[in-house]
Amino acid sequence: MSDDGHYKPEEAATIFPDGKLARPLVVGTVPRGGRTVTDTIYAVTAPTTAPAASFPFPLDRAGLERGKQQYEIFCAVCHGATGDGNGMIVRRGFPHPPSYYLDRLRKAPPGHFYDVITHGQGAMYSYGDRIVPEDRWRIVGYIRALQLGDPKNDGLATTPPEQRK
């Protein structure tokens, strides 16, 4: 009685040829009630277009706090709590990411960070399947706040030479 045979999320399932109950998303679909692909919030992710130069929606305090929370869950493990690239995983041997305080990253448009979160870059895998688009922008907002917070930091002290550019 305690196992009536119905599938629970992510169980193995013999009814599909690949044995997975969780079905992959069909390319081009969006969640019901979600934004359509023509919205700027998705459109900027197309890697062929130039990164967005501005945020698609205004960020208030609550948005930045959400960005901080998401940053601390997903980003700080490598990029460090302050964005200098000295996170715990880097200290355990993962390739050092560039510091956010480098001149080129201070000048990079917000869409650049959004694209990197969405598609990954270099050693960094994509986080597009783990962080929803709105939260990616909030994280970008929080990165901007970090960069503002320490104007004297040029990022050189914590970035390996090949990543300074």
Given the rule CB under 8 A, which residues bind other proteins? 1-6, 8-10, 12, 19-20, 72-74, 77, 88-89, 92-95, 123-125, 129-130
Cβ(53)–Cβ(110) under 8 Å? yes
Closer to other proteins by CB, 62 or 148: give it.
62
Closer to other proteins by CB, 4 or 162: give it.
4
**Residue 37 beta carbon to other proteins: minimum distance, rounded to whole angstroms:** 22
**Residue 66 beta carbon to other proteins: minimum distance, rounded to whole angstroms:** 11
Closer to other proteins by CB, 130 or 165: give it.
130
**Residue 32 beta carbon to other proteins: minimum distance, rounded to whole angstroms:** 15
DSSP string, 6-74: ---TT-B-TTSTTSBSSPPPPTT---TTS--TTSHHHHTT-TTSPPPSS-SS---HHHHHHHHHHIIII
Query: Which among 142, 125, 128, 118 is positioned nearest to 70, based on CA atoms?
Result: 142
